[in-house]
Amino acid sequence: MTEQTSSIRSQCPYCGVGCGLDLQPPAKKGAAVRRDAEGTPMWSARGDKLHPSSLGQVCIKGATVGETLARGRLDQPLSRNSLNENFEPISWDEALERITDQIQSSLKSKGPDSIAMYGSGQFHTEDYYIAQKLLKGAIGTNNFDANSRLCMSSAVAGYTRSLGSDGPPCCYEDLDHCTLAFLIGSNIAECHPVLFQRLLKRKKKHPNSVTIVVVDPRQTDTAKAADIHLAVAPGSDLALLHGIAHLVMRDNGQDSEFIDNCTDKYDSFFDVVARWTPRRVALYCGIPEKRLREVAQLFHHRERVLSLWSMGVNQRREGTAVVGGIINLHLLTGQIGREGSGPFSLTGQPNAMGGREAGGLSHLLPGYRQVTNAEHRTQIEHTWDIPKGNISPNPGLTAWEQVEAMERGELDLWWVAATNPLVSMPDLERVKAAVKRCPMVVVSEAYADTETSHYAHLLLPAAQWSEKAGTMTNSERRVTYCPAFRQPHRESRPDWQVFAEIGRRLGFEAQFSYESAAEVYAEFTAVTDKQLCDVSGLSHQLLAREGPQQWPFPQKSSPSQDSKRLYTNQRFQTANQRAQFCTDQPLGLAEPPCETYPLILTIGRYLGQWHTMTRTGKVKRLTTMHPEPLLEIHPKDADQFAVKHGELAAISSRRGQLTARVKVTEKIRRSTVFLPMHWGFTQAQACEVNALMHEQSCPISKQPELKASAVIVAPVMSVIKPIEQEGKRLQAVRRLIIPALR
């Protein structure tokens, strides 16, 4: 393609709000060419006023995306035989032949389950669709999983258990109509900023129109805007939700008609909740009973309750149960499928939603189908024109199970694409040891020198967003067409094209011959026909012409149709169309605090950084905003553990230790400490937080508890330099850690 010279519209490639961007080419008639820090002509971004999800708004990450696109990229395929050697350039043809040979020999010697791919919510839907078709259809293993396993899988499992299917029922407009916004385990001020601004604007204009409740162990910027902040103990949310239900029932606030007509298992739910009396809940969660009662009153009396959640809920070993606890409250009060109300998961990545639709987890097939369902497998085998029985009936390895399989020496080929697991997976030392056992690790990456590249044998340069056409679905089920408007960097190629080429080389010529991403999308949309996530009426052409559309969007739909909310008829996706109450008992944390590790470390995000910093780490404005990771600790804990504001502390868990600078703050509850996730081992300010975290996960969603592990904090003996000069010194300083308490 040639570089576009006029402005174009696309979806922001960062968070799941999925804002519309209006992108301007480097040079406009008569104006100077804009350049990035390396002097490369640079596109600039502003909010797209016509995008219905964001109405012209953007945050600082979206606004600076143009600065990240060309810098520090991976130029060409690189290869080496062992991790001790340096990489050598290799042609695409040789690289693809190497992968094909490995697949064929593994198929012969160990079978299809010795091959696995780990993809990403930052794929376009087209990349996702071809990736899982390659693994599940051509290779014959369901070992395709994505980083959504670390992110949204508890929401997926929770919706499915309660409502019969995945699919967030709400839309952003509900933020303008709700009278109670109940935010639990979500820091939208930093992580979904455009939605936060929308809510805040309304609150400022009509302070009495909406009450905001925030449940978070930290007083985040989100919590600062709340009418009530419940600073719960980490891992106590399910008891809190049961406690709210208990009080609503005690006051006769349940919607009996809705419960009778539209739900099952209310009696068992009643039995579980009956035990969670207000005093017991207040003690368990570490909050004042009065506050709990106030929140229950709001749930009872407010007409339109909107619950919003993200990682504080999903990343828990009882994540699915907590999601069930949230949905329970909406079933109890009949608050679902109506304007301004419902349970609404905020998706993390820009296209994790599209991934779920395209079969992008190891238990899924396209169109919200399941690999364990024989009818679903037959339908997909028919579409793909592959022999009956080719798709395995067993769920494939999830993200962490892929690591365990490498540990046992069972994987021959691990293909990582559009994710950086050597930063983002739990228990990193274990991950490193496991990956070293895998004979062939392929990493498809847009940028050079990511942490995961250090563990690769083969590096494939990926054309990224802006360089390839595709679609993405945001948190409110809205699909946006993202056109290619820049030349792919050097030898980089779109991920889907690479996956399709492997499919053809494996002998599936007809199944993987596509002229364009539009053709891939057409095949995908057709298989969603009559499914809940029906997008069979969409195409690249329609989206480019009519703009972003929400699903369901069946064939012959009109772009002006109303797909704002699911379940408006109060019929659900279960076999008897009734929603199910969940009856789980709270379990608490997998690794509770103890005498040796008396504090709970929680990990989250900063407003100006994105995950492992491969993109946002290249923007000066953003790195200036957050020069280094800071350990947040309550003054009384700082005192007890003898660490001081501005100095370095050693943080240790059962799995490892690291150092970080201390920020003493009353904005975190006692016995909880916080670190950001962003700084991997290649960063000057390296802080490998996930070396401390454990892998214990929810048995239903298989999502690891990335939000909590037990740690101890101790001072570090060293000369403290000002932050700017510190740089790589942090690493040297590690050796000086005094692990014991003063």
Mark out the alpha helices in 110-236 (DSSP H runs).
125-132, 153-163, 174-177, 188-191, 193-205, 221-224
Helix and strand counts by DSSP (H, E) for the chain? 27, 28
Place of tokens 């909590």: 708
From 405, 458, 658, 706, residue interacting with ligand MGD (rule: CB under 6 A): 706
Choosing among ligand MGD, ligand SF4, Mo ion, none, which partner's interface includes residue 531 (Cβ < 5 to 8 Å by kind)? none
From 348, 395, 552, 586, residue interacting with Mo ion (rule: CB under 5 A): 348
User: Any contact of residue 348 with ligand SF4 (CB under 6 A)?
Assistant: no
**CB neighbour class for 718 (10 Å; exposed up to 12, middle 13-18, buried from 19):** middle
User: Any contact of residue 102 with ligand MGD (CB under 6 A)?
Assistant: no
**How many residues interact with ligand SF4 (rule CB under 6 A)?**
14
- The residue among 444 and 557 lying less far from ligand MGD, judged by its C-beta, is 444
- The residue among 194 and 332 lying less far from ligand SF4, judged by its C-beta, is 194
Choosing among ligand SF4, ligand MGD, Mo ion, none, which partner's interface includes residue 706 (Cβ < 5 to 8 Å by kind)? ligand MGD
Quick check: helix, strand or coil at residue 74?
coil
- Alpha-carbon dihedral angle through residues 601, 606, 611, 617, given to the nearest 10 degrees: -130
Q: What gap in Å lies between CA 274 and CA 261, rounded to an integer?
A: 22
From 9, 136, 149, 218, residue interacting with ligand MGD (rule: CB under 6 A): 218
H-helix or E-strand spanning residue 498: helix 495-505
Q: What gap in Å lies between CA 164 and CA 148, rounded to an integer?
A: 20
- The residue among 230 and 353 lying less far from ligand SF4, judged by its C-beta, is 353
- The residue among 514 and 572 lying less far from ligand MGD, judged by its C-beta, is 514
**How many residues interact with ligand MGD (rule CB under 6 A)?**
59
Site string for ligand MGD, 110-149 (x = CB under 6 A): ----------x-x------------------------x--
From 61, 203, 316, 565, residue interacting with ligand SF4 (rule: CB under 6 A): 61
Choosing among Mo ion, ligand MGD, ligand SF4, none, which partner's interface includes residue 18 (Cβ < 5 to 8 Å by kind)? ligand SF4
From 8, 19, 397, 730, residue interacting with ligand SF4 (rule: CB under 6 A): 19
Q: What gap in Å lies between CA 690 and CA 741, rounded to an integer?
A: 23
CB of 16 to Mo ion, least distance (A): 8
User: Any contact of residue 20 with ligand SF4 (CB under 6 A)?
Assistant: no
The values of phi and psi at residue 136, to 5°, are -80, -35
Write out the binding residues for ligand MGD, residues 590-629 only, by CB under 6 A. 602-605, 607, 609-612, 614
Which range, of 23-31, 179-187, 247-255, 728-736, touches ligand MGD by CB under 6 A?
179-187
Q: What one-character-per-residue DSSP string does 545-601 give? A: HH--EESP--TT--TTS--S-S-TTS--SSTTS-EE---PPP---SS---SSS-EEE
Q: Where are the beta strands (DSSP E) in 605-656?
A: 630-633, 648-652
Residue 111, both tokens: 């079978």
CB of 193 to ligand SF4, least distance (A): 5
Q: What gap in Å lies between CA 708 and CA 60, rounded to an integer?
A: 28
Q: What gap in Å lies between CA 540 and CA 542, rounded to an integer?
A: 6
Which range, of 93-101, 392-400, 414-422, 710-718, touches ligand MGD by CB under 6 A?
414-422
Site string for ligand MGD, 460-499 (x = CB under 6 A): --x-xx-----------------------------x----
CB of 671 to ligand MGD, least distance (A): 12
Query: Under 8 Å CB-to-CB from 569, ≥6 apart: which residues?
Result: 337
Q: Which residues bind ligand SF4 (CB under 6 A)?
A: 12, 14-15, 17-19, 54, 58-59, 61-62, 192-194
